[in-house]
A and B are shown apart, each in its own frame.
Chain A
Amino acid sequence: MTESTYAQLVGLCAAVLLLSAVLIVWRRSLPAQIRLLAVQGWALGVLVAVLGVHEGDVELSLVALLVLALKGVVLPRVLTRATVTEHGALREETPLVNTTASLILLALLTMLAYVVSRPVLALGSTSPLAAVPVGFAMTLFGFLVLSTRRHAVSQLIGFLLLDNGIGTVAFLTAGGVPLVVELGVSLDVLLVVLILQVLTSRIRAEFGDADLDDLTELRD
């Protein structure tokens, strides 16, 4: 792989990551958001694989496979199962901030990401480092989704977006993490998502809806 193809591939993966993050905020339907999350997982996996092939690192390629399997296949499946039992409420109907305003916020958050990642960008001019702001931007988008959506599954998607952002920054700056660490983190995320999925179905079974804003009072 020549240097320029490598730079192009890293740039392309970063662009797909960013684009899917934007589209997750844009779309209202939960199945579409989950599909986009799967696309993002694949892009992250390919990014790690590209980094691994470039560094000639076998362990990193294994991590890439792990990321692909978990974020591209397993987590979207689990999320789909969390939505499939619902009847009709497959859309984020009333986000706290409307879509137009959230999209404008995305532009501002991207700028913020570029500002905060200036120290990282100053470290060098390699293409993975140049893509680091994308990771920060995804993390910030994740926070936005977490704080402005009401639907439990939407918030779960926001959490995974956040996690993908952190993962992207880690892979781009550190040139990958050891397999053991990645395995631990992945299991954590999987466990969290599984627990939240069960919790979501319980909430829905109890209240007939998964709107978290209804959960404001304590009763026994």
Chain B
Amino acid sequence: MNGNGPATVLAVTQVVVLLVLSPLLIGLMRTVRARLEGRVGGGLLQPWRDLRKLHAKEPLRADGTTWVSVAGPMVLMASSIVVCALTPLLGTVTFDRLPDDLFVVVSVLLLGTVALALVGLDAGTAFGGMGSSRHMTIAALVEPTVLLAVYALSIPVGSSVLSRIVDARLADPASVMSPVSLLSLLALTIAVVAETGRLPVDNPATHLELTMVHEAMVLESSGRDLAWLELGCWLRLAALLGLLTTLLAPWGVVSHVSVPGLLLAAVTLTAKLALAAGLLATVEVFLAKLRLFRVPELLAGSFVLAFLAVTASYLVMPG
């Protein structure tokens, strides 16, 4: 790598692209779901309009809340931005000192998760605490799966840096169809769905307090705080979906920074994300939320798949 210049350009571009795309992505998912259910829906731009409205409002904080409620949304937003900057969505150029190592990315993700859970606990309401406790349970079961699944992908490459894994997949597209890759991508998909609070683990559109996970945590937030929390979560969803699609179809990702290359990469990323989001929303229409006590079953299953992916990486001996 020649200096950190190209890496900085890439990171900034990724953050800007994802900041623009993630609300549109949510809008797309809601629209697809609405159309499939025979409703008109709010349109692609509705999440953007919601964000603008919330940003103009002053946050109301309950009596007895501490600085955690003020800092939490900021920490979540910051961690999401770091994740967006680090994951190799547009290009595989890395910083010298801060590679987009798997363990770095997962720990930054976890930082955001903890911030969100603390926001839920801070107001001291019953629902907030319930949501946080459920969220942490799910997070504790999801993290090992994410680590194991990407670890399985990293064994053939010999590096846990995500960019190197994507590089290797670009160089050898046939490796996408190998057993290791299929098993770990399956495990990763379940983990991403659980981590971002989509069906069947959490219903993002629910207003039934007893089943809420994500919504229960942000119940007490309002105004700007709520806007940051929502945007932070949407960014996480976009980054994780992007990572998944990049691992599944690495085409379009550039290995050195140039303006046309980045433009093309941004267009491909938009197409891939739109496709993935449309698919996810379509599948969600046919799914019901799992009972909370059945969720560990699903996550244990995804953990086993990730584990098998690790063992399967010893399965295919070279020629």
A111–B314 Cα distance when bound, in Å, is: 12
- The answer to whether the Cβ of A216 comes within 8 Å of any Cβ in the partner chain is no
Residues of A within 8 A of B208 (CB): none
For the complex, count residues of A whose C-beta is within 8 A of B: 30
- Are A14 and B315 in contact, with the CB atoms below 8 A? yes
- The answer to whether the Cβ of A130 comes within 8 Å of any Cβ in the partner chain is yes
- Are B315 and A100 in contact, with the CB atoms below 8 A? no
- Are A22 and B314 in contact, with the CB atoms below 8 A? no
A74–B314 Cα distance when bound, in Å, is: 33
- The answer to whether the Cβ of B308 comes within 8 Å of any Cβ in the partner chain is yes
- The answer to whether the Cβ of B15 comes within 8 Å of any Cβ in the partner chain is no
- Are A127 and B183 in contact, with the CB atoms below 8 A? no
- Are B316 and A130 in contact, with the CB atoms below 8 A? yes
- Are B300 and A130 in contact, with the CB atoms below 8 A? no
- Contacts A14-B179, A18-B308 given: A99-B315 contact, CB under 8 Å? no
Shortest distance in angstroms between A116's beta carbon and chain B's nearest beta carbon?
Answer: 13
- Are B301 and A134 in contact, with the CB atoms below 8 A? no
Determine the residue in chain A with the shortest Cβ distance to B307: A107
A186–B304 Cα distance when bound, in Å, is: 31
A31–B116 Cα distance when bound, in Å, is: 41
- Are A3 and B179 in contact, with the CB atoms below 8 A? no
A19–B180 Cα distance when bound, in Å, is: 11
- Contacts A12-B179, A15-B182 given: A104-B316 contact, CB under 8 Å? no
A8–B318 Cα distance when bound, in Å, is: 9
Residues of B within 8 A of A114 (CB): 311, 314
- The answer to whether the Cβ of B317 comes within 8 Å of any Cβ in the partner chain is yes
Partner of A106, one of B178, B182, B304, B314: B304
- Are B178 and A103 in contact, with the CB atoms below 8 A? no
- Are A3 and B319 in contact, with the CB atoms below 8 A? yes
- Contacts A7-B319, A103-B304, A125-B317 given: A133-B311 contact, CB under 8 Å? yes
Partner of B183, one of A15, A111, A131: A15
- Are B308 and A8 in contact, with the CB atoms below 8 A? no
- Are B297 and A100 in contact, with the CB atoms below 8 A? yes
Residues of B within 8 A of A10 (CB): 316
Number of CB contacts from chain A to chain B under 8 A: 76
Residues of A within 8 A of B303 (CB): 103-104, 107
- The answer to whether the Cβ of A110 comes within 8 Å of any Cβ in the partner chain is yes
- Contacts A15-B183, A100-B297, A104-B300 given: A22-B305 contact, CB under 8 Å? yes
- Contacts A12-B179, A22-B305, A110-B308 given: A4-B300 contact, CB under 8 Å? no
Which residues from 117 to 146 on chain A have a C-beta closer than 8 Å to any C-beta of chain B? 125-127, 130-131, 133-134
Shortest distance in angstroms between A216's beta carbon and chain B's nearest beta carbon?
Answer: 29
- Are A110 and B315 in contact, with the CB atoms below 8 A? no
- Are B312 and A15 in contact, with the CB atoms below 8 A? yes
- Are A11 and B178 in contact, with the CB atoms below 8 A? yes
Which residues from 72 to 100 on chain A have a C-beta closer than 8 Å to any C-beta of chain B? 98-100
A127–B297 Cα distance when bound, in Å, is: 33
A104–B308 Cα distance when bound, in Å, is: 11
- The answer to whether the Cβ of B204 comes within 8 Å of any Cβ in the partner chain is no
Residues of A within 8 A of B59 (CB): none
- Are B304 and A131 in contact, with the CB atoms below 8 A? no
- Are A127 and B305 in contact, with the CB atoms below 8 A? no
A11–B317 Cα distance when bound, in Å, is: 9
Residues of B within 8 A of A126 (CB): 317
Residues of B within 8 A of A110 (CB): 307-308, 311
A111–B310 Cα distance when bound, in Å, is: 11
Partner of A131, one of B177, B301, B305, B315: B315
Determine the residue in chain A with the shortest Cβ distance to B311: A110
Partner of A26, one of B182, B301, B315: B301
Shortest distance in angstroms between B307's beta carbon and chain A's nearest beta carbon?
Answer: 5
Shortest distance in angstroms between B124's beta carbon and chain A's nearest beta carbon?
Answer: 32
Residues of B within 8 A of A131 (CB): 315
A104–B319 Cα distance when bound, in Å, is: 32
- Are A19 and B308 in contact, with the CB atoms below 8 A? yes
- Contacts A22-B308, A110-B308 given: A100-B316 contact, CB under 8 Å? no
Chain A residues with CB under 8 Å of chain B are: 3-4, 7-8, 10-12, 14-15, 18-19, 22, 26, 98-100, 103-104, 106-107, 110-111, 114, 125-127, 130-131, 133-134
Chain B residues with CB under 8 Å of chain A are: 174, 177-179, 182-183, 296-297, 300-301, 303-305, 307-308, 311-312, 314-319
13 A-B interface contacts by CB (under 8 A): A4-B318, A8-B178, A12-B178, A14-B179, A18-B308, A19-B305, A22-B304, A99-B300, A107-B304, A107-B308, A111-B311, A130-B316, A133-B315
Given A4-B318, A125-B317, 10 other A-B residues pairs in contact with their CB atoms under 8 A: A11-B179, A11-B312, A15-B179, A22-B304, A22-B305, A26-B297, A100-B297, A114-B311, A127-B317, A134-B315
